[in-house]
C-alpha cells in the first residue's frame, strides 16, 4: 500500500507520480542513451530546439510536440498518461509512418480510497513503411549460377522492425526506464 502523500496531486491536477520528470526521463534510467544520442545527433541547427541537457529534461512540461534527444516526440499528455513516438528522429516523416516506428505510453492512476497507485507501461515497435512487409528478390540458381543458371524469385517475410540484440536491449531499456521513474515514488 502506498501512503497518500506519494500519490498526491499538484495544483495542475496531474499526479506528482506522472509529472514527466519522474517517468519520462528519470536521469539514472536515461543518462547512457541521452549521452549516446547527444554525441551522435546534437547540433546547433536542426536539433537545437530539442531537449538535451539534464536541466532541460528536468524542467520541461513535456507538452505535445516536445522533441527529446532526436529520438522521441511527445504525442499527447494527460494528467495520468504520456504517449511518446520513437523509432527514428522526430525530424524524419513527422506526419507519416516510418520504416521503423514505435509508440510507448506510461500511465499512473492513483486510487486514494484504497491507498495505492497503478503504473503501466505499453510499448510497441512496428513497421510503418509498407515496403517492409516483405520483398521478392531475384537470383540465379543451379550449378555455377552463371550464364547457365536459371532465375529464381525468393520471398522473404518481415520479422518486425528489430530482432536479436536490438530487441533485447529495448526490452530491458523500457523496463529500466519505468523502474527508475517508479523509484522516485516508492516509500
With a cut of 50, list the residues of the chain below it in pLDDT: 1-25, 135
CA distance 3 to 126: 38
Cβ atoms of 138 and 118 closer than 8 Å: no
Q: Report residue 60 as a C-alpha cell.
A: 520541461
Please count the other Cβ atoms lying within 10 Å of the Cβ belonging to residue 22. Answer: 19
First-to-final CA distance of the chain: 10
Q: How far is CA 156 from CA 16, 132, 149, 151, in A?
A: 48, 10, 21, 16
pLDDT digits (tens, 9 = 90+) for 5-24: 444 444 444 444 444 444 44
- Residue 160, CB-side half-sphere exposure with 13 Å CA sphere: 9
Grid cell 516510418 — which residue? 98
Query: Residue 60, exposed/middle/buried by CB under 10 A (0-12, 13-18, 19+)?
Result: middle
Q: Which residues sit opposite 137 in a β-bridge?
A: 154
| C-alpha 104 chain-centroid distance | 5
pLDDT of residue 15: 42
pLDDT of residue 108: 85
Domain around 67: 4-183
pLDDT of residue 17: 42
Please count the other Cβ atoms lying within 10 Å of the Cβ belonging to residue 72. Answer: 24
Looking at the 3D structure of the chain, how many domains does it have? 1
Amino acid at each position: 500500500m502506498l501512503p497518500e502523500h506519494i500519490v498526491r496531486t499538484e495544483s495542475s491536477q496531474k499526479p506528482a507520480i506522472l509529472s514527466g520528470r519522474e517517468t519520462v526521463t528519470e536521469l539514472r534510467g536515461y543518462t547512457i542513451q541521452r549521452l549516446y544520442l547527444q554525441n551522435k545527433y546534437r547540433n546547433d541547427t536542426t536539433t537545437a530546439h530539442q531537449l538535451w541537457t539534464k536541466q532541460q529534461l528536468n524542467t520541461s512540461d513535456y507538452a505535445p510536440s516536445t522533441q527529446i534527444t532526436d529520438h522521441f516526440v511527445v504525442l499527447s499528455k494527460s494528467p495520468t498518461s504520456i504517449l511518446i513516438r520513437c523509432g527514428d528522429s522526430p525530424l524524419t516523416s513527422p506526419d507519416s509512418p516510418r520504416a521503423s516506428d514505435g509508440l510507448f505510453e506510461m500511465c499512473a492512476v492513483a486510487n486514494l480510497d484504497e491507498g495505492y497507485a497503478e503504473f503501466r507501461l505499453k510499448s510497441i515497435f512496428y513497421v510503418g513503411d509498407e515496403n517492409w512487409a516483405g520483398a521478392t528478390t531475384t537470383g540465379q540458381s543451379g550449378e555455377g549460377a552463371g550464364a547457365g543458371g536459371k532465375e529464381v524469385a525468393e520471398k522473404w517475410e518481415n520479422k518486425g522492425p528489430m530482432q536479436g540484440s536490438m530487441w533485447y536491449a529495448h526490452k530491458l531499456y523500457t523496463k529500466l526506464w519505468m523502474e527508475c521513474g517508479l523509484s522516485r515514488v516508492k516509500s
